[in-house]
Structures are given as C-alpha cells and as structure tokens.
C-alpha cells in the first residue's frame, strides 16, 4: 500500500475514532495513517445498510448480549465461524450451507469443521430471522457472520470496530478437499502457517495478530496431542504438559481444554503471555514464539495490548474482505443453511411478496 494509492482510494483508518464517526458520510477519502488502514474492496461499504436496514447492527448486538450472558463460549464459536467462512472460498457464507446429498460433500463435513460449534449455526440463523423480520430479505448471511464475529470480540472485552458490509451469499459449496487445503493445521510450524497465510496476502504481523483469536475458546485433544505423544514437545512448559496429559490421557481422547490458560473467556493479550511462558496449546500457536521472524511480534503484543488490538482489527478487516461477492453476484439467502434455489419456503415467500407488492398498486 503506498501513499499515492491512499490519496486516490478510500482508505479508512479503523483506529481513528473520528473516521468511525464519519461512517455515515462519504468523506472517507483521506486516511490519516496508511499503515493502520485497509483498502476497501469494491462493492463493500461502511454504510451499506444505512437505508435498507438501519437497525441491523443493534438487533445483532442486543441479541448476542443475551446469548453470551447464558454462554460466553458461543463468542468463540462465532469468531471461528467467520474465520472458516473467509478462508474457504471467501466470506460468502458457504460454511453455513448444509449438504443436500448424503455423504461428505460440503464445507461443514470436512474434518476441521467437525469441531465448529453447532450452536453457532443456530445463532446465525436466528439472527437472520430477526434481521429479515425487521428489514426484509436485504441482509446477507455472510454479513451477519462478519458482524457477529466483531460483536463476539468486543463483547468479550476486545476492540470494537466498524465492519465493511455488502457481502453477498455464495451459490457454490466448498468441497471438503478445498476446505482442508485452505485451513492450516494446528500441528503445523510457524513457517508453514506463514507460507499458507501469505497466499492470502497476510504478512507476519497479520498472522500473529489473527492467531490472537485463540485468546478465547477451546481446543479438543486431537488438535494438540501431537505435542504430548509419543514424545512430549520439549518446548512445552513441563507443568502445563502434565496438566494436558491428565485431560487427554491418550492420543485419542475426546476431551477439550481452554486455548488461553490465563483468561479463557476474555478477549485480551494474555494468549501472547501464554506463548512467552511456553503454555501455548497448539504447535501453530507456540511456534510463533520459537520462530525468529514472529517472536518479536509476539513479545510486542504481550507487553502492549493496544498494539495487539490495533493489528488485530487491521488483520480482521483484511480477512473479512477475502474473495467477497458483491453487487449482483451471489444472492441474499432466505435461509442461511440453503441456497434460495433449493429452499421451498423461500419460493413460497416469493409468491407472498409478489401478492403484497401487487396489492400496493390497487
């Protein structure tokens, strides 16, 4: 990103509060600091639903406050859902689609998705119902996922930030092969993770910041027993390893534990403090502190939470724009789990809408 580019395009410094206040205006052509700003993909906008659904974000936040009051763990589920959606075939809601045939044929049935929380899908469909009831079928499921991820971060104590909107929902399924190829494995070392995310234009700072998503939520034994059996990862803190072995006595135990030892439900910078104490859960986490190129970044986030929040927002904003569908591409799903073409209820409502619009002309 160059200075010249920033003067000709609409870059927004997410961290400059004044710009957030200007969201409803069109005066976002000048970014104060290009280093902290992310270019906006054509077709997305900071005020996309301003007229068509002005209450969108307040409906979602109000409902999620209630959901998290009962179970804060759902925040982690929703954050991870957005990550999976965006990494596989772009933020197009394809992660939400339920296969129409039996057998593994979609993103949900690929191995990394087996640990996505079922409740997260229900929450998204419930939010979609509330939003469409208020505004009509104008808001995409992929936008709802992006807003829900942001609210999960901020309602867990993390940064609050504006989300560019206007994504459309995809028409095609992602196969399990595509899903596996796009989601890095927790058993990978830092060079593999960096190379994998570099294909999506994430640099080292982005990778370390995005991994900070693991400041909330859980991991199942299968995601980290590679570090316990047959030989214990020498990098892992001895007491931490002993505790993990109690939780996962064999390499195929189906239990789980918190990703962030120090503050498992709070979105803060303690994940990086864990890494500095050799208490990161996955190889992909801990190796960020072993690997020379990322060690310094981990340390800088561990000592400065505002810096982590800043970089996290930048990286999330990039992630939220990966291969999005906009304009006339894709569709606005009437049911987040199914494409409109295979949704009988949707076809029924189309008829109702036609009747309503006809009656307006009587």
121 touching ligand NAG, by CB under 6 A: yes
Instruction: Say whether 169 counts as a known binding-site residue.
Output: no
Beta bridge partners of 169: 331
- 206 is written with which tokens? 């982005």
DSSP 45: B
Q: Which position among 6, 45, 74, 108 is part of the footprint of ligand NAG (CB under 6 A)?
A: 108
Question: Residue 216 or residue 336: which is nearer to ligand NAG going by CB?
Answer: 336
Q: How many residues bind ligand NAG (CB under 6 A)?
A: 23
Residues in Cβ contact with 280 at an 8 Å cutoff, skipping those fewer than 6 apart:
271, 274, 286, 288, 289
Long-range contacts of 299-308 (CB under 8 A, 24+ apart): 299/272, 301/208, 301/209, 301/212, 301/269, 301/272, 302/269, 302/272, 302/273, 302/275, 302/276, 304/269, 305/268, 305/269, 308/209, 308/212, 308/269, 308/272
The interface partner of residue 211, options being ligand HEM, ligand NAG, none and the CB cut-off 5 to 8 Å by kind, is: ligand HEM
Question: Residue 90 or residue 217: which is nearer to ligand HEM going by CB?
Answer: 217
327 touching ligand NAG, by CB under 6 A: no
Beta bridge partners of 258: 218
Element (H, E) at 39: strand 37-39
Instruction: Say whether 184 counts as a known binding-site residue.
Output: yes
| Annotation marks residue 84 as catalytic | yes
d(CA 232, CA 247): 15
SS3 at position 219: strand
For residues 105-134, which are near ligand HEM according to CB under 6 A?
Answer: 115, 117
Beta bridge partners of 331: 169
297 touching ligand HEM, by CB under 6 A: no
Catalytic residue among 82, 84, 132, 220: 84
Handedness of CA 233, 234, 237, 239 (dihedral sign): positive
Show the site string, 51-70: x = touches ligand HEM by CB under 6 A, - = not. --------------------
16 touching ligand NAG, by CB under 6 A: no
DSSP 257: E
Give which of 282, 162, 160, 157 is closest to 214, Cα–Cα.
282
235 touching ligand NAG, by CB under 6 A: no
Check: CB of residue 197 under 8 Å from CB of residue 206: yes
Distance of CA 230 to the CA centre of its chain: 33
Beta carbon of residue 169, minimum distance to ligand NAG (angstroms, whole number): 13
Check: CB of residue 294 under 8 Å from CB of residue 288: yes
Instruction: Say whether 88 counts as a known binding-site residue.
Output: yes
Q: What is the crossing angle of helices 56-70 and 118-135, to 10°?
A: 150
Show the site string, 340-359: x = touches ligand NAG by CB under 6 A, - = not. -----x--------------
Question: Residue 261 or residue 285: which is nearer to ligand NAG going by CB?
Answer: 285
Check: CB of residue 323 under 8 Å from CB of residue 182: no
**Which one of the spans 64-72, 80-88, 189-197, 261-269 is the region binding ligand NAG (CB under 6 A)?**
189-197
For residues 253-282, which are near ligand HEM according to CB under 6 A?
Answer: 256, 259
68 touching ligand NAG, by CB under 6 A: no
Instruction: Say whether 233 counts as a known binding-site residue.
Output: no
294 touching ligand NAG, by CB under 6 A: no
Q: Which position among 214, 311, 333, 339 is part of the footprint of ligand HEM (CB under 6 A)?
A: 214
Beta carbon of residue 302, minimum distance to ligand HEM (angstroms, whole number): 17
Beta carbon of residue 43, minimum distance to ligand NAG (angstroms, whole number): 26
Residues in Cβ contact with 44 at an 8 Å cutoff, skipping those fewer than 6 apart:
164, 165, 166, 167, 321, 324, 326
Q: Any idea which residues carry the catalytic annotation?
A: 84
Residues found near ligand NAG in the complex (CB under 6 A): 98, 108-109, 113-114, 116, 118, 121, 189, 191-192, 229-230, 251-252, 304, 306-307, 310, 335, 337-338, 345
Residues found near ligand HEM in the complex (CB under 6 A): 76-77, 79-80, 83, 115, 117, 184-186, 193, 210-211, 213-214, 216-220, 223, 256, 259, 284
Residues tagged in the binding site annotation for heme b: 214
């Amino acid at each position: 990103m160059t200075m010249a580019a920033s003067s000709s395009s609409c870059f927004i410094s997410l961290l400059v509060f004044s710009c957030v206040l200007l969201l409803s205006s069109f005066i976002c052509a000048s970014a104060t600091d290009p280093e902290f700003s992310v270019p906006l993909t054509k077709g997305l906008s900071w005020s996309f639903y301003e007229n068509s659904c002005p209450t969108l974000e307040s409906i979602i936040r109000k409902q999620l406050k209630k959901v998290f009051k009962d179970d804060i763990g759902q925040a982690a589920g929703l954050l991870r859902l957005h990550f999976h959606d965006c990494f596989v075939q772009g933020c197009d809601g394809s992660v939400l689609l339920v296969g129409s045939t039996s057998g593994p044929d979609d993103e949900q049935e690929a191995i990394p998705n087996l640990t996505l929380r079922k409740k997260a899908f229900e929450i998204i469909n419930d939010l979609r119902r509330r939003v469409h009831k208020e505004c009509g079928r104008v808001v995409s499921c992929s936008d709802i996922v992006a807003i829900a991820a942001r609210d999960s971060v901020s309602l867990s104590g993390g940064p609050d930030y504006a989300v560019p909107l206007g994504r459309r929902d995809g028409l095609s399924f992602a196969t399990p092969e595509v899903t596996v190829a796009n989601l890095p494995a927790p058993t990978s070392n830092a060079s593999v993770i960096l190379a994998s995310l570099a294909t999506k234009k994430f640099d080292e700072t982005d990778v370390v910041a995005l991994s900070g998503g693991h400041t909330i939520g859980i991991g199942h034994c299968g995601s980290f027993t590679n570090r316990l059996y047959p030989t214990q990862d020498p990098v892992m803190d001895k007491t931490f390893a002993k505790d993990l072995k109690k939780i996962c006595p064999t390499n195929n135990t189906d239990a789980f534990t918190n990703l962030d030892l120090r503050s498992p439900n709070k979105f803060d910078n303690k994940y990086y403090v864990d890494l500095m104490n050799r208490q990161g859960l996955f190889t992909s986490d801990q190796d960020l502190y072993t690997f020379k190129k990322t060690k310094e970044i981990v340390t800088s986030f561990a000592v400065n939470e505002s810096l982590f929040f800043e970089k996290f927002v930048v990286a999330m904003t990039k992630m939220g724009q990966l291969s999005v569908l906009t304009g006339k591409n894709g569709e606005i799903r009437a049911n987040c789990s199914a494409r409109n073409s295979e949704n009988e209820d949707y076809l029924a409502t189309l008829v109702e809408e036609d009747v309503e619009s006809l009656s307006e002309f009587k």
